[in-house]
């Protein structure tokens, strides 16, 4: 039953590179070092295999959550942005194909959306608490600001490989996004 894992890993790699149509069962089997027939015996069909792959990668490992009482927003948010940038950067190829196949294979919708939605909820709660604690301007548009921060993370993770110089250097980006964000909501920037 070790084949199952090898096939799943290989399928993830091949799907990430070539998308659903391009991820032929031959390619996946070869990449896994396994006979093509084994693939069908184990998963039944190519579609079922790809569903299994996405499910496998969909576990929202909610490591590194934002702390419940915000203490040092600049530091906490920066760390959080760093973590999620890295995470999305890893998922990027799979995400891109899932999105581009959204219309043809709506069953991948969950995988393509859940990340963004969860993240939005999580960070909105954090900032709402900031707001309640008086650590942000009364009339700040926190909702739009949150959207913009998440957009920056998504856009950076997805678009940097294609247009690198439209983003700040990778090591500075998280801190600078967060600083802009905190200024936008009128929070006192720690530095």
Partner DNA sequence: ACGGCAAGTAAGTAGGTACTTGCATACACA
Partner DNA sequence: TGTGTATGCAAGTACCTACTTACTTGCCGT
- Only segment of 40-48, 63-71, 125-133, 158-166 that touches its own copies (CB under 8 A): 158-166
Nearer to its own copies, 30 or 99 (CB): 99
3-state secondary structure of 57: coil
Binding to its own copies by CB under 8 A, coded x per residue (else -) over 4-23, reads: -------------xxx-xx-
Q: With CA atoms as reference, report the closest residue to 15 among 75, 102, 94.
A: 94
Give the position of tokens 């590194």. Answer: 64
Interface residues toward DNA, by CB under 7 A: 1-4, 23-27, 33-38, 40-42, 44-47
Nearer to DNA, 43 or 126 (CB): 43
Report CA-CA distances (Å) from 146 to 47, 59, 138, 183: 36, 23, 15, 12
CB of 17 to its own copies, least distance (A): 6
CB of 95 to DNA, least distance (A): 21
186 binds, among its own copies, DNA, none (CB under 5 to 8 A by kind): its own copies
- Residue 35 contacts its own copies per CB under 8 A: no
- Residue 171 contacts its own copies per CB under 8 A: no
Nearer to DNA, 1 or 162 (CB): 1
CB of 55 to DNA, least distance (A): 17
User: Rounded to 10 degrees, what is the CA torsion of 139, 143, 146, 151?
Assistant: -130
Residues 94-133 that bind its own copies (CB under 8 A): 96-97, 99-104, 109, 112-113, 116-117, 120
83 binds, among its own copies, DNA, none (CB under 5 to 8 A by kind): none
CA distance 191 to 186: 14
CA distance 159 to 19: 18
CA distance 135 to 93: 38
Q: With CA atoms as reference, report the closest residue to 153 among 126, 109, 123.
A: 123
CB of 96 to DNA, least distance (A): 19
CA distance 9 to 117: 26
């Amino acid at each position: 039953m070790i084949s199952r894992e090898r096939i799943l890993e290989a399928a993830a790699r091949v799907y990430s590179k070539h998308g659903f149509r391009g991820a032929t069962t031959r390619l996946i089997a070869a990449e896994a070092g396994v006979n093509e027939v084994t693939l069908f015996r184990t998963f039944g069909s190519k579609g079922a295999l790809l569903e299994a792959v996405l499910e496998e990668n969909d576990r929202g490992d909610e490591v590194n959550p934002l702390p419940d009482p915000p203490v040092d927003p600049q530091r906490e948010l920066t760390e959080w942005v760093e973590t999620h940038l890295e995470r999305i950067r890893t998922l990027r190829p799979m995400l891109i194909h899932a999105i581009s196949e959204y219309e043809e294979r709506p069953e991948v919708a969950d995988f393509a959306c859940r990340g963004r939605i969860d993240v939005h909820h999580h960070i909105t709660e954090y900032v709402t608490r900031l707001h309640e604690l008086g650590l942000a301007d009364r009339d700040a548009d926190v909702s739009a600001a949150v959207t913009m921060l998440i957009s920056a993370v998504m856009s950076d993770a997805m678009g940097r490989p294609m247009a690198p110089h439209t983003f700040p250097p990778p090591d500075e980006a998280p801190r600078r996004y967060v600083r802009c964000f905190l200024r936008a909501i009128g929070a006192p920037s720690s530095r």
